[in-house]
Structure 1
Amino acid sequence: MSDEIWSRNELDSPCIQICVVHPETRLCTGCNRSIDEISRWSKMTRETRLSIMDELPSRQSIPKGRRGGRAARLKR
């Protein structure tokens, strides 16, 4: 099994080197993967990684809408 890890094509990573995890969604704002997916990535099979990569476009690492702004401050 370890031979499989070292012989695979590493180009299967969606990382774009913008590694910031959003505090609410817990997803990386660069690649939309969770911390767990990022940490296990090198141990996953190619099929598992491809399955996750297929899901990534539908994920939102940053929630839509504002977190409050002026209107939220005025409610205090």
Structure 2
Amino acid sequence: MNRPANESIESPCIGVCALDGLTCLGCGRSVDEIEAWAQASTAERVAILQRIKMGVTC
């Protein structure tokens, strides 16, 4: 069975779910990004991952 393209990009969640304000200390995503992840397009997921990699905060 084929998965939709956006599901081929795995969540950056590492199971360390602790918020520092509005950002997860484990994965670096904002609360809004975490909530939106399941419905995010491939482009949106790539943008989130690039922001995390660059260390840019929301």
**1:1-76 → structure 2 map (5 Å cutoff):** 7-8=3-4, 9-23=7-21, 26-57=22-53, 58-59=55-56
Which AA in structure 1 matches 2:13?
C
Give ranges in structure 2 of 5+ residues lacking alignment: none
Structure 1 residue runs of 4+, over 3 Å off?
none
Give ranges in structure 1 of 5+ residues lacking alignment: 1-6, 61-76
The structure with higher relative contact order (CA 8 Å, sep 6+) is 2
Bigger share in strand: 2
Identity percentage of aligned residues: 31
Cα distance in 2 for partners of 1:11, 1:52 equals 11
Q: How big is each residue's C-alpha offset from its partner over 1:3-54, in whole Å with a ceiling of 9 and x where there is no partner?
A: xxxx33355210001000103xx10000010111000100000111011101
Which AA in structure 1 matches 2:49?
M
TM-score scaled by length of structure 1: 0.60
Cα RMSD, aligned residues only: 1.6
Aligned residues: 52
